[in-house]
Chain A
Amino acid sequence: MSAPAVLIEGLRKTFRRAAGPFGRKQDKVALDGIDLEVRQGEVFGLLGPNGAGKTTLLKCLCGLVLPDAGRIEVDGRDALKRAAEVRRSVGMVYGDERSFFLRLSLLENLRFYASLYEIHGARADSRIRELLKVVGLADVVDVRMDGFSSGMRQRAAIARGLLNDPAVIFMDEPSRTLDPVGAEDLRELIHDRVAGGRRTVLIATNLMHEAEALCHRLTMIDGGRVVMTGSLADFRGLAGEDAVYWLSVNGGSAWGDGLRSIPGVRSVAVEPMGENAHRIRLQIDRQGRALALAIRHLVEAGAEIWSCTQEEESLDKVFRAVVQRGARAVAAGSRS
C-alpha cells in the first residue's frame, strides 16, 4: 500500500487570545490531538461547524501556522522540518475572495503567482491557459479582476492552486461566498476537473451536502478533536433511522390513509398546493421498502407524481447524532 498523501499524528495547537485591548489572555484550544490519514488520490472532507479547527488544521498542513506538538507528513515529507519542499508540492484554495491583486488582469495575476513557483515565460503562459480552460475562465483572461464575481474569483483561486500541479490540494470552504448556483457549479468543477488521478484533495467545509457531493471519506471535527472518521455511508447511518421525503402530487383520491398504513411509514403530512395538487411530507424507515411502496400506492390511486426529493440531513443533525453515539471511530476509519 502506498504512503498516505497526508499523515497527521497527535497534532495540538493552542492560541492565546486577549478578550479585548486590555483583556487578560486566555487559552483557546484549536487542535486537541488530531490523528488523521488521507490516502493518495482521494477526496477527503474535513467537516465541522465554524470554529471547529478546520482552517487551523489546513494552515498547519501548509506551514502557515506552527503546531505546539504533533507530526505532519504531506506527500511523504515532514511538513514541519521540510516546509519549503512541501510548499512546492501542495496547493491551497481559500474561500476568501481577497487574495488576488484586483487591479491586475487574471492573466497578470496568475503569471505573477506562477513566477513565485519558478514557472516563467512561455511555460507559465501555456500552463495558465490550460488551467483557465479547466476552470472555465479562458474568455476573461485579460479582464481586470476587480470586475470578477465571487464565483469567478473562486474559480481563479482554483486555477492558482493548481499552477504548480500539486500532488495535494487543500481547499478551505471554497464555496463559502457563493450563491447556491455558483456553489453547485464550483462543486462540479472540483469533482470533474480538480480531483481524480493521483491528486489528493482535502476540503474543509461546514456543508454536509457539499461533503456528500465531493468526498470519498470524511472526518468530523469539533472543538479541535476528531469526532468521527468514516465513509459517507457511515455518516448517513448515524444520522438517524428515519428519512424524510417530500413528494408533489397531482390528482388521485383517498390515498392518505393508505400511505399511513404502509409498513415503515412513520408519519404523513399533507399540504394543499392548489386545485387537486398536494405536497406530502413522508417520514419513513430508511432501511425498508417504504418509499417504493408509497410511490406505488400513489400511482395506483391515480396520483401523478411531479417530484420526489429527500430532505437534506442538516450538519447539526448528523453532528448531534455522531456525538450522541460517542462514535470516535467506525469502519473504514482513518487507520483502516
Chain B
Amino acid sequence: MRTVAAFLRRDLLVFRSYRLAALTQFAGVGALLVMAFYIGRALGRGGAVPGLGGDYISYLLVGMAFTDLLIACLRASTTAIRDGQLAGTLEPMLLTPVRLWQLLLGASAFRLLNALGRLLMVALAAVVIFGYWHHANLASAALILVPAVAVFAGTGLVAAAGVLVVKQTEPLLAGYVAVSFLFAGAVFPPGLLPGWVQPVVTVLPLTHALAGMRLAVAGASPAAVAGHAWILAAGSVVTIGAGVLALRQALLWARREGSLAQY
C-alpha cells in the first residue's frame, strides 16, 4: 500500500505541476454538463428518443461519465509503461525491488482516482442540478462498476503487454475505444444500429457496463442487474487472466531482447 501511496503522491505532484491541463480537465466536465443541459432544453424533459426507455439527458450523462472512467481503466497500464519508456524512468523503477504488477497498480492509481473524481462530479451535477438518479441503487451500481473496472483494467494489461513488445499499441486501443463508444450505447441506444452490428454490440463489455449502470441509477435491484454483472465478471476473469499471462511473457521477452527501455 505504501508503494501505491508513493505513486499516488508522485502523480498528484506531476498533475499539479501542469496547471493548465488540470484546469482543462475540469473544464471538460463542465462542458459535458453544459452540453447536456442544452440538449435537454432542446429535447424537452423526457424527450422521446426511440429505444431509450427514459430521459435522454440521464442516458447521455451515464454514457459519457462511465465511458470516461472505463476508458481510463483501459489506458492506465499502457500509459504507465509508455510514459516510463519515454521519460526513461521505467528501467530505474524496475531496478528497485518493486514488481511490475505493483508498478502498474501504483502508476494506474492516480489516473483511476482522477477519472472517478470526474465521474463523481458528473453524478453530483446529475443529482443536484438535473434532479436525476435520486433513486439510484448504489449496491447495484457497485455490482456493475467493480467487474466493469476489472474487465477494462484486464484488457489494459493485455495492451500493456503489447507496449512492452511492440511499443506502440495506441492505434489498436484507439480503434477499440472508437468501436466501443459508437456501438455500446454511450450516446445513443445501440438498438438503433443495423441488425448485422448487433453481435458486435453484444460482445462489447461497455454495452453491459452502461446498460447495467443505467438500470442501477434508475433504481433497479442487484438481481435486476445481475445478468450484466455476470457477463462483466466472466469477462474480467478472461481479460485479467490473459493480461497477467501476457504481461509476464512480454516482460520476459523484453528482458531477452534487451528492449525494456526502448520506445
Contact = CB atoms under 8 A, between A and B. Distances in A.
A113 B2 CA distance: 12
Interface residues of B, number: 30
Interface in A90-114: 90, 92, 94, 96, 98-104, 108, 111-113
B260 A116 contact: no
A88 interface: yes
Q: Is the interface of B mostly helix, strand, loop or mixed?
A: helix
Contacts of A92: 92, 95
Contact of A66 (B7, B87, B98, B256): B256
Interface string B75-119: 000000000000111011111111100000000000000000000
B258 A104 contact: no
Interface in A59-73: 59, 62-66
Given A99-B91, A104-B13, A87 B96 contact: yes
A101 B86 CA distance: 11
B3 A115 contact: yes
Interface of B: 2-3, 5-7, 9-10, 13-14, 17-18, 87-89, 91-99, 252, 255-258, 260-261
Contacts of B258: 13, 15, 30, 56, 59, 64-65
Interface in A287-310: none
A118 interface: yes
Interface of A: 13, 15-16, 30, 56, 59, 62-66, 84, 87-88, 90, 92, 94, 96, 98-104, 108, 111-113, 115-118, 120, 144, 160, 164
Contacts of B9: 111-112
Given A90-B95, A118-B2, 18 more contacts: A64-B91, A64-B94, A64-B260, A66-B252, A87-B96, A98-B88, A101-B14, A101-B87, A102-B87, A103-B14, A111-B9, A112-B6, A112-B10, A113-B92, A113-B93, A113-B96, A118-B97, A160-B92
Given A65-B255, A104-B13, A120-B2, A96 B87 contact: no
A15 B258 CA distance: 8
A98 B94 contact: no
Contacts of A101: 10, 14, 87, 89
A90 B7 CA distance: 22
A294 B261 CA distance: 54
Contacts of B95: 62-64, 87, 90, 92
A102 B252 CA distance: 29
Nearest to A68: B256
A183 B87 CA distance: 24
Given A104-B13, A118-B2, A118-B97, A99 B92 contact: yes
B90 to A, nearest CB: 9
A116 B3 contact: yes
